[in-house]
Amino acid sequence: MGRRRNLPIVALAMAVIAVQLLTAAAGKPQYLTQLTMAGYYSLVIVGLTLLMGYTGQISLGHAGFFAIGGYTSGLLTTYNLHPLIGQIPVSILQACGLLVSGKDLYGADLLVVRPWAACVVALLVTIGIAYLVGKPVLKLKGHYLAMATLGFGTIVYKVVLGSSLVGAADGISDIPAFPLFAGLVVTGKSALRAQNYYVAWGLVLGAMALLTNLIRSRVGRALRAIHGAEDAANAMGVDTGRYKLQMFVLSAALAALGGVFLTHYNGGIGPSEASVMKSVRYVAIVAVGGMANLWGALFMGVLLNFLSLRGSFGSYDDAVFGLILLAIMLFAPDGLLRAEFARRLPGLRRGQKAAP
């Protein structure tokens, strides 16, 4: 039974390896940079697919969660605590091994939070904010929910744009690399390009494995029920408010994870990551991927982000995503890669036949 279930994940893993080998063979390793970035954006997209496509709750604020993750980690790993040495809180952090010292470009002493700790804090902060925002906002439906999440996204954008602490319009730069484990480092250094490609896609594979399990589970069925008829789901014993909130927080945490890693990969983050256009882009990709189609969203997300990052859309970048959204809503509101199509792929069938 496990084999069949895991088939799509294994296929994705093989595709990831094949792409890396192909780029190496073709002498185009620079493509891996865009594919790595597209991988991190995919984390936002697959989470949002579960929230929007399966649970039926739209969010026009997910760029906000991505940015909260990236900015929190970026700020903590660049904010110099050296002048505060001797203060009790700093001493405690130091004693716990959460700080790391170094030198800046001009040789001055630096004392900053370790990337691991910063990453954990960034995720916890995002989860907390998603909980506080989601709790009241998810009581709304349809375009009221869209407008409320849009409001949240706008606030995040304006806050990072206006705060000198996070570099205002310039954002944060010189964000250090993020050493993971066993010598793996999240960094944009071209020598470590292939390694970083595998780190990003390892995360995507992990997220896909977890989320495909989720949609086939009792929880996934309850989420689809909420989408279809919330009152009936509630009458069947589904705590609809709690499930919607948990899904919202989960998708926000995935967005933040993408934000943290991409920020360390790029060595910086700017306010455009928090912009409403980014949120619209994520929604457009979920829609064009088929709404309730995790694999379709992943595929379209990688394709469109790759093209966008390579500059294929020129100065019409944002316009392209607006156009996609407009066209989808007009001609195929269920999304382009329909769920019907996905159901025909092996291992993706919903009525999981309990194979021996």
Q: Which residues bind another protein (CB under 8 A)?
A: 1, 5, 210-211, 213-214, 216-222, 224-225, 227-229, 231-240, 246, 250, 292, 339, 350-352, 354
Q: Are 186 and 176 in contact (CB under 8 A)?
A: no
Closest to 346 (Cα-Cα) out of 295, 298, 297, 299? 295
Shortest reach from residue 47's CB to another protein, in Å: 12
What's the token pair of residue 238?
């589904």
- Alpha-carbon distance 82 to 94, whole Å? 11
**For residues 82 and 338, which CB has a smaller minimum distance to another protein in the complex?**
338
Angle at CA of residue 21, ends 17 and 26, nearest 5°: 150
Give DSSP secondary structure letters for 261-272.
HHHHHHT-B-GG
Task: Give me the least distance between CB of 232 and another protein, in Å please.
Answer: 4
Nearer to another protein, 175 or 222 (CB): 222
Name the 3-class secondary structure at 29.
coil
Determine which helix (DSSP H) or strand (DSSP E) holds 108, and give its type and residue range: none
Nearer Cβ to another protein, position 82 or 216? 216
Q: How far is the CB of 217 from another protein (least distance, A)?
A: 3
Calculate the CA 149 to chain-centre distance: 16
Q: Which is nearer to another protein, 25 or 354 (CB)?
A: 354
**Least gap, CB of 210 to another protein (angstroms):** 4
Distances (CA, A) of 289 to 121, 218, 227, 335, 338: 32, 24, 18, 6, 8
To the nearest whole angstrom, how small is the minimum distance from the Cβ of residue 258 to another protein? 17
Closer Cβ to another protein, 295 or 321, answer by number? 295
Q: Nearer to another protein by C-beta: 107 or 136?
A: 136
CB of 227 to another protein, least distance (A): 8
Nearest to 289 by CA among 311, 304, 277: 304
Min dist CB 290 to another protein, Å, is 12
Nearer to another protein, 227 or 264 (CB): 227
Instruction: State the nearest-atom distance from the C-beta of 127 to another protein, in Å.
Output: 13
**Rounded CA separation 4/326 (Å):** 37
DSSP 168-214: GGG-B--PPPEE-STT-EE---GGGHHHHHHHHHHHHHHHHHHHHHH
Q: Which is nearer to another protein, 80 or 213 (CB)?
A: 213
In degrees rounded to 5, what are phi and psi of residue 179?
A: -70, 125
CB of 247 to another protein, least distance (A): 8
Nearer to another protein, 122 or 249 (CB): 249
Supply the DSSP string of 312-329, one letter for each residue. TTGGGHHHHHHHHHHHHH
Q: Residue 256, CB half-sphere, CA atoms under 13 Å: how many?
A: 26
Q: What would the 3-class secondary structure string for 71-90 be?
A: HHHHHHCCCCCHHHCCCHHH
